[in-house]
Structures are given as structure tokens and as C-alpha cells.
């Protein structure tokens, strides 16, 4: 296969709401370019992009799939992404390495909630955007209202490149406003006839063409001058202006097509060839320290791994973009994060499951390799002596959590291990054994993401699991001061045990004055692993407790802090003053004082108005106007505090603060309330007091567990 240099490579990501037709469009692009000779269909489960068994089972994309076409003199690398929010990780990684985002819009739905989410990411990465209005052949296709919804959401930078002359099942004609021709497609699609614009359309086409010329001129002073001098621009000048506009995120060209009928894709590919920025023209990459890495084929080799996964029957497949230099099939590179030396044995261009071996890939290109030992998603490989780390992708925080339980006890350990591996490939999925909850906690982007993860556990790794609602990590604290004492005494044959402790406890707050009730002999401030503090004072006078027993008392207190008196949860934000006690010359020892300390602490704690705290999250829910009421109502049943409502285009953004205990299956409820048209994100904020009745119920639950 031909090696393309950085001037002849275009990297695009196909993004868009589920079912807009991204996968079929990718198929159509490959077909148009002659990479494949037969077009697969979604229903026939035989597209190049959706080749995984799980994608066939579900009937939609789950993974981002890199593909390629060669169109005219260019290689277009295409990454087909899944549209569901649950697979945001795949989408973001693709967006990150693409130089142009092709946002596919369904011609009968217009802009959808997921389109907006994708848009936000494209904005964040400041990537050039091109809109592809697909499904023009659909009976309900409505070009004008779809275009209006684009302009409404994304403003005046949305620039019409084409318009259809007909739509719905008869769709076969497009007027092109750059070339000023009419394309008429044969019934089977493919190469259109080029015809003059009919008289009846002349006026409209001229008007839109002039708008386009103006848009193209706006982005370059020289072009602007020319435009004023000549009153117009030629095709090449327009291309130049549009390219500048795309790079600066000032022009979002709109194309129309039908992937199903193979009409219009070729023209869009031509535009990508001629106008969309090359990797070198795009914004450069940066190192983690913020230093620019130029896209230079003669520079030192730097690869950025944007995706890796275990491919059945093949092994680990690693996808990368060549950020700088070139990579050959025997390059030896270093992983900047782990220091591991990785040898590239084979280099591939991937089209779904089809591999084409190549000898070399240069800066700007996208490729894959097999069997890297220790390199995973979001890591950098670089040439020896050029130690850089490409600024990694910031993946979104997980939004759902479950506890994973092996159906067979023997599998418990293996499940943690396998999930750890899955996390290295998909960083939006996190796994952690919680010592506190005594559960293996899996966090993911949504229920669908979990379903896919379970599918892998069961099918790829042959591990059967249950996902259950995880316990909640409560915290315990106190609301007022209290004192208590405890005498531990045991005299049953042999050496006895004796220790007596008097202590006072108080709620601790940052910056509070030192206690003045007792003389302070010693002080220890402990930053608790689980958040909050314990401040422990030795206030013993006259040596009533020997200094060597003070650490034992602290140990006793800590033990109770780890298993709080109300529900067995961690205790936080308490200060303890040990101010009196008694020793026995023979029987006193560490264990006696530890027990006395623990029991005195527990007793004091229960008198100090103990308060259970629960984790609370900030929630941001984006909903279409019409279902605001339902979503608000649902949030209110979840003990949420509504913090504010903002309007953003057609959507409302509800900001709420909700206890974690009420967020179980929230993504499911939201999906069914909104038919998938709403989305949310969540972020841990703090621990807050649990309402009294709930605290009582939880304390009772614990008492019952302990009684068993």
C-alpha cells in the first residue's frame, strides 16, 4: 500500500446521535473509494465498522472503529464512533486524534441531545467541524428544518455548501454552492451527472453562493481584499478561505447525503480532500508540560495511543496516531509512563477487522500494532532520548456504580484482575475493591456501558457475575461535646488486666481554638484516610496514666473510628481529650488501655448526639424543555436540592445536589423519562447529615445485622 505523507492525510471522526447513520456512512465512503466492493447493511450485520459480535447483537456501534479510504490523492482515516453517551470514552478518544469532526445529523430529527454533547467535546478540543445531513431519502426527511435547527444551535458559523432539490424517497438531486452545479444521481447512487443549475433555481443558488463567498473571504485579509476588488472569489480561493475558517472554528460547512442510497458521500470526501485541514495544518499537539510537538515527519518519533483492546483470536490491538516522526515495522520505542521498551513488530492500517500491513507510517497518520506488552490507552511511546508525554485525554467521571459479585466464589479474585485489564483499555470504566464496603465496585458511564462490560466478562473471559447496588459509604460524626470513662478490669487466674480512661470528645472543625479545660501535654492531628480529621490530646496530669499507654488509648479510639458506633461506618471530625484515668502497678498493659480507650470513646460518642453523614453529589441534567417538569419531579423524589436552572438553546440544564443513596439507576430513569433525549453528569461534593428518620432506620439495620 502507498505511503501517504502528512500533506495527503486527513483524519476525520464520524460523530453524531445514535442512528443518524454514521456506520452506514463509513461503509458508503469505503465503497465509493473502492476499498470494498459490496456495501454491508446494519440489519445484515455485515458492515466493516460494526464487526464485533456485541455490535451485531445490539444492532449499533459500541466501539470506535478506525477505517480508511483512499480518495483521489488523499488518504482519509475515518473513525466511526458510537453515538451513545455511555460510550463517551470511545467518542472522546476518537475526537482527540481526528483533525476534523464530521457531525452526522439525521435529516428528520435535526439536532438531538447527543449532538449537543458531541458538540461540547468538539468545542473543548477546538476541532474543525463539518455537518453531514444524512438520510435525505427518508420519508420524513426535512432539509430546511434540519438546517434551521443547526443554525439555531450552532449559530451563523453554520454555512450551507449544498441544498437538495428533492427529498424523501425520490431524493437524487443536490445543488452544490461551491462548484455551482447540479448533481443528479443514478438510481443506484454513486457517480452523479453534473448538470447546469436549472433556471428556476438560479436566483436562490446565486444568493447562497454569494453568502458562501462572503464567508470564505471573511477568514483571510488577502481574500477579503480580492473579494472587494473582484466582487467574487474563484473556487480555489474559496477553498482556501473555507479551510482557514474551519481551522479557526469559524466555519461549519453543511453537506447533504443519503448513505443508504450512496448519494452525496463522494462530494463530501472530495471536500475533505481539498479543504479539511491536514494534521500539520491542525492545531499542534502538546506535551503534558504544555510544550508544542510539531507534526513533523522528520522529527523524533512520538506515538499517542488512543485506543487499545483485546481482539478475540488476535491478542492486544493498540491504535495510535503518529504525532511526530515516523514509525516503521521494527521501531523500538519507549513508553513514557512506564519506561517499558516496546518493539513494534508489525504495523497495520485497520478497517474493522481487516488488516493491511504497511512498512511505515508518518507524522499525522493513524495505525495499529499488535502485542505491545505494557502500553495502554492514553499513553505515549517515543523514540529513545526524546522523553515526552503527549497531554493525555481527560475522560469523564463515571456516572453509575455497581458492586460486582462472582456467581462462583472461586472467580472473585480473577474478576478484579480482569476488570483491571478492561480499565487499562477503557479508562472510563473504573474498578476498585472497597475495604470499607467490602465490595468490588465497578464504576461506568451508564447502564449500557455496564451491560457491555458484563457481556465481555461473560463471553470473552467466561466469568459469570451479578451486578448489585453497592452499599453506601456513610460517615459518622458528633454534634455536641460529651464525656465518658471506662474501666477495663480482668482478674481470672494468671496475669490480670487493668486500665481506666476518662475522656471528653468534641465535634472538630477546622481552625477551632485549642481546648482550655485541660492542660495539654501532647497533641496528635491525624488526617484520616477516609476524609476528615481526628485530633487527639494527651491531657493527663500527675502521671495517673503512664505516657507509654497513651498510644494504646489512641489505638483503641482509632479502632472505633474505623467501625463507627452507629452503623459501623468511618468516623470523622472529632477531637478527643484524654484527661484522667488509673493504672495498676502490675496488671496494666497495652491491651487494657486500648480496650478502655475504645469503650470510653464509644460511650462518649453515643452521648454526643451522633450524626450519620452521607455522600452528596452535584448533578447536571440536560433536558429538552417539554420534559422539564417530569425530570424535576423525579429529582424531588430523590431528596434533591435544586440549585439552579439554566437555558441553553432548546435545552434546560438543571443543577441539583442529590445524595448518592438516591442515585441508584438514575441513568435508567432519566433515559425512560426522556426517551433517551436527556443526559446528566455527576460529581462528588461532600458529606452531609442524613435526615433523622433515615439515620434511625440505618442504625436499626445494623443492630439487626449484629444480632444475627
Ligand X SMILES: Nc1nc2c(ncn2[C@@H]2O[C@H](COP(=O)(O)OP(=O)(O)O)[C@@H](O)[C@H]2O)c(=O)[nH]1
Residue number of the CB closest to ligand X reads 21
Secondary structure letter of residue 155 according to DSSP: G
Three-state SS across 179-237?
CCEEEECCCCCCCCEEECCCHHHHHHHHHHHHHHHHHHHCCCHHHHHHHHHHCCCCHHH
Does residue 61 belong to the site contacting Mg ion (CB under 5 A)? yes
- Tally Cβ neighbours within 10 Å of residue 543: 8
Render 5-56 in DSSP notation, one character per residue. PGGGEEEEEEEESTTSSHHHHHHHHHHHTTS-SS---TTTT--SS--SHHHH
Site residues for Mg ion, window 5-34 (CB under 5 A)?
22-23
Render 600-614 in DSSP notation, one character per residue. HHHHHHHHS-EEEEE
Does residue 278 belong to the site contacting ligand X (CB under 6 A)? no
Site string for ligand X, 67-96 (x = CB under 6 A): ----------------x-------------
Q: Which residue has the cell 449544498?
A: 162
Least distance in Å: CB of 118 to Mg ion?
13
Does residue 111 belong to the site contacting ligand X (CB under 6 A)? no
| Contacts with 74 (C-beta within 8 Å, 6 or more apart), sequence order | 4, 8, 9, 10, 272, 273
Complex with ligand X: residue 59 or 294, whichever CB lies closer: 59
Site string for ligand X, 183-222 (x = CB under 6 A): ----------------------------------------
Does residue 19 belong to the site contacting ligand X (CB under 6 A)? yes
Does residue 134 belong to the site contacting ligand X (CB under 6 A)? yes
Does residue 137 belong to the site contacting ligand X (CB under 6 A)? yes
CA distances from 103 to 13, 114, 489, 531, 601 (A): 8, 11, 75, 43, 61
Partner from Mg ion, ligand X, none binding residue 504, C-beta < 5-8 Å depending on class: none
Partner from ligand X, Mg ion, none binding residue 65, C-beta < 5-8 Å depending on class: none
Does residue 138 belong to the site contacting ligand X (CB under 6 A)? yes
Least distance in Å: CB of 141 to ligand X?
8
Complex with ligand X: residue 28 or 220, whichever CB lies closer: 28
Render 260-325 in DSSP notation, one character per residue. TTTBSHHHHHHHHHHTSPPTTTSPPEEBTTS-EE---TTS--EEEEEEEEEETTTEEEEEEEEEES
Does residue 146 belong to the site contacting ligand X (CB under 6 A)? no
Among 94, 109, 114, 135, binds ligand X (CB under 6 A): 135
Among 9, 11, 16, 377, binds ligand X (CB under 6 A): 16
Does residue 260 belong to the site contacting ligand X (CB under 6 A)? yes
* Contacting range for ligand X; rule: CB under 6 A; set: 62-70, 153-161, 201-209, 253-261: 253-261
Least distance in Å: CB of 77 to ligand X?
17
Least distance in Å: CB of 3 to ligand X?
30
CB 293 within 8 A of CB 47: no
Burial profile 636-656: b = 16 or more Cβ within 10 angstroms, e = fewer: eebbbeeeeeeeeeebbebeb
Q: Which residues pair with residue 653 across a beta bridge? A: 622, 646
Does residue 100 belong to the site contacting ligand X (CB under 6 A)? no
Least distance in Å: CB of 11 to Mg ion?
18
Does residue 258 belong to the site contacting ligand X (CB under 6 A)? yes
Distance (Å, whole) CA 469 – CA 490:
44
> What are the cell numbers at 144?
430546511
Does residue 142 belong to the site contacting ligand X (CB under 6 A)? no
CB 654 within 8 A of CB 615: no
Residue 122 phi, psi dihedral angles, 5° rounding: -60, -40
Least distance in Å: CB of 509 to ligand X?
53
* Contacting range for ligand X; rule: CB under 6 A; set: 18-26, 157-165, 427-435, 603-611: 18-26
Does residue 23 belong to the site contacting ligand X (CB under 6 A)? yes
Q: Return the SS3 of 648.
A: strand
- In the complex, the residues that contact ligand X under the rule CB under 6 A are 16, 18-24, 41-42, 60-61, 83, 134-135, 137-138, 258-260
Chain positions contacting Mg ion, by CB under 5 A: 22-23, 61
Amino acid at each position: 500500500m502507498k505511503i501517504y505523507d502528512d500533506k495527503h492525510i486527513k483524519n476525520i471522526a464520524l460523530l453524531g446521535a445514535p442512528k443518524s447513520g454514521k456506520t452506514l456512512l463509513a461503509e458508503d465512503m469505503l465503497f465509493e473509494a473502492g476499498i470494498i466492493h459490496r456495501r454491508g447493511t446494519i440489519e445484515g450485520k455485515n458492515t466493516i465498522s460494526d464487526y464485533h459480535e456485541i455490535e451485531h447483537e445490539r444492532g449499533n456501534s459500541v466501539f470506535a472503529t478506525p477505517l480508511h479510504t483512499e480518495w483521489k490523492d488523499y488518504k482519509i482515516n475515518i473513525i466511526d464512533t458510537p453515538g451513545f453517551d455511555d460510550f463517551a470514552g470511545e467518542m472522546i478518544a476518537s475526537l482527540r486524534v481526528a483533525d476534523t469532526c464530521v457531525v452526522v445529523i439525521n435529516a428528520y430529527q435535526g439536532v438531538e441531545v447527543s449532538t449537543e454533547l458531541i458538540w461540547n467535546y468538539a468545542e473543548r478540543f477546538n476541532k474543525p467541524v463539518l455537518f453531514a445531513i444524512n438520510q435525505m431519502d427518508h420519508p420524513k426527511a426535512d432539509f430546511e428544518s434540519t438546517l434551521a435547527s443547526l443554525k439555531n444551535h450552532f449559530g451563523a458559523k453554520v454555512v450551507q455548501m449544498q441544498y437538495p432539490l428533492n427529498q424523501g424517497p425520490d431524493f437524487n438531486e443536490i445543488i452544490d454552492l461551491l462548484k455551482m452545479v447540479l448533481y443528479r444521481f443514478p438510481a443506484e447512487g454513486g457517480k452523479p451527472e453534473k448538470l447546469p443549475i436549472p433556471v428556476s433555481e438560479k436566483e436562490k443558488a446565486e444568493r447562497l453562493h454569494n453568502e458562501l463567498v462572503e464567508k470564505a473571504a471573511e477568514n483571510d485579509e488577502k481574500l477579503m481584499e480580492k473579494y472587494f476588488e473582484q466582487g467574487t472569489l474563484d473556487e480555489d480561493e474559496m477553498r482556501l478561505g473555507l479551510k482557514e475558517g474551519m481551522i479557526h472554528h469559524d466555519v461549519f460547512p453543511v453537506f447533504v447525503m443519503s448513505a443508504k442510497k450512496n448519494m452525496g458521500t463522494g462530494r463530501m470526501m472530495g471536500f475533505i480532500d481539498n479543504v479539511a485541514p491536514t494534521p500539520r495544518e491542525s492545531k499542534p499537539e502538546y506535551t503534558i508540560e504544555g510544550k508544542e510537538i510539531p507534526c513533523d515527519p522528520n522529527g523524533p518519533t512520538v506515538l499517542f495511543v488512543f485506543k487499545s483492546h483485546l481482539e478475540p483470536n488476535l491478542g492486544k490491538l493498540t491504535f495510535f496516531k503518529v504525532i511526530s516522526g515516523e514509525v516503521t515495522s521494527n521501531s523500538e520505542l519507549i513508553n513514557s509512563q512506564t519506561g517499558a521498551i516496546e518493539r513494534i513488530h508489525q504495523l497495520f492500517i485497520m478497517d474493522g477487522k481487516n488488516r493491511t500491513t504497511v512498512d511505515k507510517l508518518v507524522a499525522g497518520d493513524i495505525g495499529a500494532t499488535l502485542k505491545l506488552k505494557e502500553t495502554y490507552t492514553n499513553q505515549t511511546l517515543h523514540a529513545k532520548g526524546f522523553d515526552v508525554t503527549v497531554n493525555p485525554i481527560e475522560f469523564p467521571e463515571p456516572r453509575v456504580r455497581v458492586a460486582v459479585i462472582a456467581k462462583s466464589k472461586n472467580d472473585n479474585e480473577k474478576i478484579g484482575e480482569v476488570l483491571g485489564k478492561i480499565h487499562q483499555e477503557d479508562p472510563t470504566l473504573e474498578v476498585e475493591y472497597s475495604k470499607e464496603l467490602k465490595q468490588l465496585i465497578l464504576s461506568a458511564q451508564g447502564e449500557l456501558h455496564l451491560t457491555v462490560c458484563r457481556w465481555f466478562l461473560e463471553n470473552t473471559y467466561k466469568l459469570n457475575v451479578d451486578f448489585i447496588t453497592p452499599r453506601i459509604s456513610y460517615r459518622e460524626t458528633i454534634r455536641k461535646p460529651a464525656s465518658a470513662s471506662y474501666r477495663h478490669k480482668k482478674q481470672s487466674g494468671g496475669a490480670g488486666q487493668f486500665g481506666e480512661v476518662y475522656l471528653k470528645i468534641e465535634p472538630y472543625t477546622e481552625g477551632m481554638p485549642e481546648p482550655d479545660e485541660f492542660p495539654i501535654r501532647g497533641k496528635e492531628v491525624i488526617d484520616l484516610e477516609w476524609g476528615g480529621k481526628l485530633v487527639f490530646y494527651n491531657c493527663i496530669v500527675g502521671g495517673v496514666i503512664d505516657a507509654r499507654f497513651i498510644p494504646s488509648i489512641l489505638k483503641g479510639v482509632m479502632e472505633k473510628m474505623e467501625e463507627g458506633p452507629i452503623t459501623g461506618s468511618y468516623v470523622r471530625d472529632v477531637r478527643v481529650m484524654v484527661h484522667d484515668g488509673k493504672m495498676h502497678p502490675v496488671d496494666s498493659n497495652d491491651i487494657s488501655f486500648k480496650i478502655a480507650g475504645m469503650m470510653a470513646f464509644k460511650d462518649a460518642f453515643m452521648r454526643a448526639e451522633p450524626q450519620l453523614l452521607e455522600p452528596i453529589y452535584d448533578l447536571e441534567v440536560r433536558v429538552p424543555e417539554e420534559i422539564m417538569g417530569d425530570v424535576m419531579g423525579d429529582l424531588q423524589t430523590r431528596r434533591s436540592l435544586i440549585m439552579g436552572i439554566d437555558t441553553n438553546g432548546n435545552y434546560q440544564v438543571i443543577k441539583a445536589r442529590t445524595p448518592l443513596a438516591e442515585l441508584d439507576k438514575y441513568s435508567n430513569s432519566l433515559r425512560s423519562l426522556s426517551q433517551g433525549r436527556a443526559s446528566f453528569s455527576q460529581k462528588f461534593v461532600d458529606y452531609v447529615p442524613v435526615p433523622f428518620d433515615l439515620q434511625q432506620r440505618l442504625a436499626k439495620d445494623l443492630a439487626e445485622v449484629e444480632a444475627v
